[in-house]
């Protein structure tokens, strides 16, 4: 038997036994995160170098935050996902449910304090303000004033031209929360929010759309001209040359922290920690800011770059609102059921 044939026989037996030598195995790292520009940017600008450096194949699972959390719950006994990237509110739920392991070797010296989670169970990888996206060309042609208040979403001239993500998306949840806050309630008394949504906002809604791709299509086709969305998403669309702008409502723009955690399992993939540390590094944060308009979490990134003109940095940071996620998550399931029953029918 030749040496090559001998190795082939050994490899075949090892494969059958599930014990193929580590250097002959194809390592994979599964990352679950948002679709749209996140998907395209990470695949193009971040993953290739990581794959080459670590000899690994990165598998990307696109979906919104509640989708990713549902996958973690469904796969609880045998987790497939290695790195989960979700909105901060959903991340708090994931941590509470035990789905996140501490990030090993996280250097916090360059990170803003707001990016940090207790016990390093997660870390923010991008900051986004929540407000309005408007088609500036249509607004100018129609002579419409620029909206300045959440109450402007109730204006009858926007009938069937307004798009809001559903409540299982943080932007939809924040819309409900803001109307509650502005009408005598808040995270601990959501009733006023439901009242306004049903009576005053719902008639203007074209669709409650969760998909970033479909949201941009609705604007590009002229079906929608105003939406509730995040600074990063709006900046990414504006970067394509489409005439949109982001508006910070005067009552405040709730902050959304896109956050990452290594998924807890019997044997946490060590490359999960490396991926997360790469995502918060200054070079990657700079690239995400330029391409996606994400407010950086690394203090070494220049926040004065033109690509961050919509991001919640500098003077705009004064309009940011930090939600009470403990109160929200205690009632979120009930709110979702009620929303589906009374608002989005």
Q: Which pLDDT tens digit goes with each residue over 201-253?
A: 999 999 999 999 999 999 999 999 999 999 999 999 999 999 999 999 999 99
Tens of pLDDT, residue by residue over 256-306, are: 999 999 999 999 999 999 999 999 999 999 999 999 899 999 999 999 999
Instruction: Report whether 133 contacts 227 (CB < 8 A).
Output: yes
Mean pLDDT of the chain: 92
Q: How far apart are CA 340 and CA 210, in angstroms?
A: 14
pLDDT at 314: 86
Residues 295-341 have pLDDT tens digits of 999 999 999 999 899 999 988 999 999 999 999 999 999 999 999 99
Contact present, 193 and 176 (Cβ < 8 Å)? yes
- 169 Cβ contact list (under 8 Å, min separation 6): 64, 65, 66, 210
Torsion of the alpha carbons at 310, 314, 315 and 320, rounded to the nearest 10: 70
The pair of structure tokens assigned to 68 is 């990713």
Of 167, 255, 149, nearest in space to 205 by CA: 167
């Amino acid at each position: 038997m030749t040496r090559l044939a001998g190795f082939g026989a050994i490899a075949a037996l090892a494969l059958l036994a599930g014990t193929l030598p580590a250097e002959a195995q194809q390592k994979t790292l599964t990352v679950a995160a948002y679709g749209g520009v996140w998907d395209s940017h990470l695949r193009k600008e971040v993953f290739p170098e990581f794959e080459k450096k670590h000899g690994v194949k990165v598998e990307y699972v696109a979906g919104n935050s509640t989708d990713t959390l549902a996958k973690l719950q469904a796969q609880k006994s045998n987790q497939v996902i290695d790195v989960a990237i979700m909105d901060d509110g959903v991340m708090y739920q994931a941590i509470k449910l035990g789905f996140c392991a501490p990030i090993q070797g996280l250097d916090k010296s360059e990170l803003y304090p707001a990016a940090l989670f207790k016990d390093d169970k997660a870390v923010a990888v991008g900051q986004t303000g929540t407000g309005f996206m408007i088609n500036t060309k249509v607004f100018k042609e129609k002579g419409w004033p620029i909206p300045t208040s959440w109450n402007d979403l109730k204006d009858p001239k926007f009938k069937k031209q307004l798009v809001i993500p559903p409540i299982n998306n943080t932007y939809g949840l924040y819309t409900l929360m803001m109307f509650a806050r502005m009408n005598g309630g808040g995270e601990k008394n959501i009733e006023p929010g439901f009242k306004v949504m049903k009576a005053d906002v719902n008639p203007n809604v074209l669709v409650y759309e969760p998909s970033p791709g479909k949201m941009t299509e609705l604007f590009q086709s002229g079906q929608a001209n105003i939406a509730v969305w995040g600074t990063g998403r709006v900046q990414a669309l504006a970067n394509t040359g489409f005439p949109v702008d982001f508006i910070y409502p005067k009552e405040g723009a709730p902050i959304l922290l896109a956050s990452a955690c290594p998924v807890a399992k019997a044997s946490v993939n060590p490359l999960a920690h490396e991926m997360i540390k790469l995502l918060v590094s200054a070079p990657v944060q700079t690239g995400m800011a330029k391409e996606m308009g994400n407010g950086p979490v690394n203090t070494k990134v220049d926040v004065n770059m033109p690509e961050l003109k919509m991001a919640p940095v500098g003077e705009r940071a004064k309009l940011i609102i930090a939600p009470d996620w403990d109160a929200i998550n205690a009632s979120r399931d009930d709110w979702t059921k009620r929303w589906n029953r009374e608002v989005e029918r």
